[in-house]
Structure 1
């Protein structure tokens, strides 16, 4: 069944505009749409064979009139999005039909879920769908993106049906989920859900982080009792980095001062001793 968003040639009889309200009327209007197409082709063939539309038109017009009169009154389009076959209008004077002038892409819905909880997305629209040949296709744009750009989305082969659950929710799930509703492989609507993950990490992870911080702050109880290392001169000289030029110069200066001090002390002692005699 073909769905058009603009004018297309159709066979008509009166001037009234009709549509449907329920899923059953959805099927009926779909059949009527196909009948319009077939009727137009048959009318053209018969007109070519008889040489005039005036001869072929009356029987076709009467048949189509009976089909149109069985339809219910027009149903208004249900915003904000979707190709709504159930609201198709047949414009008899212009010989064409139209569907709601609404975009295929629906607005993004925001969903906020705490980390570790469950997220649920329902791919449901407000207008009626056919009972058969309805399929759902899911995709995901990660990295925290809130977008409707198809180039960012990747398919989710394991997601099937109109309802999808994610549990437990993790920060990696933050992003936009998209659901495409198809009828007979033709898109009817595309829904978007932006998942925002909030809240603290799970309890187990929190406990692990607390233990890690305690290890970083840990110190031995007997740390005050540890005596500092006081190496001897021999131990210092035994170190590989001890015998540098700077250290040797300092060591020579210390030895020279010590010798001079010892000489002065010995001289002062003998002078004191001799002065006493």
Structure 2
């Protein structure tokens, strides 16, 4: 498994480290602290000071490597700090040359301390994604490394009936950082089942760890991808292949029938628009239609009819009288 080194003592995630206790001496104690310990044992004379420093290094050099979680790193640092203080107390109490016994004793206690720290975990969730438990800190170089697990999770199949809603959850089986976490959703259209990032396009409006598609249509068939980012760096990529099944909804079928009827419709011949010629009953039923001209015409017709009736009655009377 490839390892990508990340140099620096400050890191974003808890680490797992495999540490040589001899090297950890140099990671968790400073040159000034080690020099102060030896000066308290032998003073400032050059030759004696050199022998003391060599003895301190040799005492920790023979210890085996240890592997613990990085969240125990602060405990290990505190243990080394306490060790240097204890050595100074021994030097003050016993004086010169007592370091020959004090240093191996301190190294043995440190070995027991490391053994009691929580050991590293190897049961990584699904062996995908940048997980906290995969980081290590190496005392021999005072740097950290991360196990380069693949970012891509296996494609998950999601089957939804046409017209229903599809819900995707961008959730992984390992703990994620609590801050500066973002989600990016993409889609590979055309029914493609792929993990090739070149086929994916951004899904507008999808930003959280949940994405909802609805109502689902055949055009939604394809692969959806969610990228989990921490501080703009990817932690994992999840893939969901959406398969759309079932006939179209009844309402959609009726709409399609209506659409076909509209497309097959042919216009009829244009009808002739005739002027309105209302009868007398229509005029009397609609007072608004009795304009002054119409009223004059009705009066004239009534007068003509009355005169005609009078003439006919007079002619009939003369004929009847002359017959007698």
Normalising by structure 1, report the TM-score.
0.54
Name 1:268's counterpart in structure 2: none
Name 1:173's counterpart in structure 2: 220
Name 2:14's counterpart in structure 1: 29
Q: Encode CA deviations 1:207-254: one digit per residue, 9 max, x unaligned.
A: 455789999xxxxxxxxxxxxxxxxxxxxxxxxxxxxxxxxxxxxxxx
- The offset of 1:86, in angstroms, is 3.6
- The offset of 1:100, in angstroms, is 3.3
Instruction: Name stretches of at least 5 consecutive residues in structure 2 with no aligned partner.
Output: 18-25, 32-52, 61-74, 81-112, 263-324
5 Å-filtered alignment, 1:127-166, equals: 127-166=174-213
Give the one of 1, 4, 7 matched to 1:6: 4
1:79 aligns with 2:126: yes
Taking the aligned partners of 1:211 and 1:166, their CA distance within structure 2 comes to 27
Name 1:113's counterpart in structure 2: 160
Taking the aligned partners of 1:10 and 1:27, their CA distance within structure 2 comes to 11
Q: Encode CA deviations 1:71-95: one digit per residue, 9 max, x unaligned.
A: 7432222223101124312243465
Output the aligned Cα RMSD: 4.4
Q: Encode CA deviations 1:6-53: one digit per residue, 9 max, x unaligned.
A: 245678xxxxxxxxxxxxxx96627x9xxxxxx98xx89xxxxxxxxx
Alignment CA distance shift 1:200-1:207 (3 Å): same
Normalising by structure 2, report the TM-score.
0.47
Kindly indicate whether the alpha-carbon contact (under 8 Å) linking 2:154 and 2:238 is maintained by their aligned counterparts in 1.
Answer: yes
Taking the aligned partners of 1:94 and 1:27, their CA distance within structure 2 comes to 19
Larger Rg: 1 or 2? 2
1:104 aligns with 2:151: yes
SS of corresponding position for 2:251: helix
Aligned length in residues: 188
**Structure with the bigger percentage of helix:** 2
Taking the aligned partners of 1:162 and 1:71, their CA distance within structure 2 comes to 35
